[in-house]
Amino acid sequence: MVESRSPKPLMWVRFLLPPPMQPHTKEGLITLLIEDGYLRSPLIVNAFTQVDRKDFVPAEAAEQAYANHPLPIGFGQTISQPLTVAFMLELLSPQPGEKILEIGAGSGWQAALLAKIATDGGAAGKVFAIERVAALAKLAEENIARCGYVDSGTVQVINKDGKLGHSAEAPFDKIIAAAAAEAIPPVWKTQLKIGGRLVAPVGRNIVVLDKKSQKEFEERRYFGFSFVPLLGGVDKAKAPLDGVKGFDTMELTNGSDGKIPRRTP
């Protein structure tokens, strides 16, 4: 196992107003992530350019759509910090034509990014996005449909327990999770192709597993991130329990000034 450190630890802080020096446009956010080394691959940069985060945040949060912090989407869930999404996608290294499993669809932004990459150049890639909260699964499907990826059959959103993976479509070229488990569920490893890659939070680490054989995995860890916990079961609630208007709990880079640490190679 190789352990790597993220540029600086992330931590949960509380505040009532958004931090200063945050980008206010999609172009500004992308430029910031490129300059600080989090966006590197042309495929992923293009996906960030073509798939607008603003289309996946609640109307109440639209003014902060390009700020580099998470935003609440209800049910105790968030649309992830752009830095974290960029970092994890670069680790995942999705490619056109691949079949990808996402655990934790949320409002659908990352699934749409993956769909853009999987179909680049006319490739016939597929994305299967699991979301345990029924109302969020519906929201994700509606948001992704506006990008054209549902009717085309590129993305399928499934309301089920993400801990179980999705054996009906296994094996997958890539698997990515958006919530932190105590350990990688063994079924995810089983559903990954030999030669495939899995990227998932475990505690405060982002873990990367490369599958070398049925039982052999190469592992790397990147410390210093905070995620919502991975929950089991299926939640059929139809209305948010917490609302989406408050920004009292945010995942930020180290410190409260909103600045992003530069990522070193």
Give residue 20's pLDDT band: very low, low, confident or very high (50, 70, 90): very low
Q: For residue 257, what pLDDT band results from cuts at 50, 70 and 90?
A: very low
Q: Are the C-beta atoms of 188 and 168 separated by less than 8 Å?
A: no
Virtual CA dihedral for 90, 226, 107, 259, nearest 10 degrees? -70
Q: How confident is the model at residue 240 (pLDDT cuts 50, 70, 90)?
A: low
User: In this structure, what are the phi and psi dihedrals at residue 41, rounded to the nearest 5 degrees?
Assistant: -75, 135
Report residue 159's pLDDT band, with 50, 70 and 90 as the boundaries: very high
Task: List the catalytic residues.
Answer: 80
In whole angstroms, give the CA distance from residue 210 to residue 98. Answer: 15
Residue 96's pLDDT band, with cuts at 50, 70 and 90, is very high
**pLDDT of 246 above 50:** no
Average pLDDT, the chain: 85
Please state which of the ranges 28-37, 89-98, 133-142, 232-241 shows the lowest mean pLDDT.
232-241
CATH 3.40.50.150 fits domain 2-238: yes
Amino acid at position 215, single letter: K
In this prediction, residues 40-58 reach a mean pLDDT of: 97
C-alpha torsion 258→66→102→233, nearest 10 = 70
Instruction: Give the tens place of pLDDT for each residue, 170-191.
Output: 999 999 999 999 999 999 999 9
For residue 21, the model assigns a pLDDT of 60
Q: Are strands 126-130 and 71-74 parallel, antiparallel or unpaired?
A: unpaired
What mean pLDDT comes out for the span 140-158? 97
> Average of pLDDT values for 227-251?
63
26-35, 75-84, 123-132: least confident range: 75-84
Strand 155-158: give its sheet, edge to edge. 2-5, 217-223, 205-211, 192-202, 172-177, 99-103, 126-130, 155-158
Instruction: Give residue 225's pLDDT.
Output: 86
Residue ranges per domain, the chain? 2-238
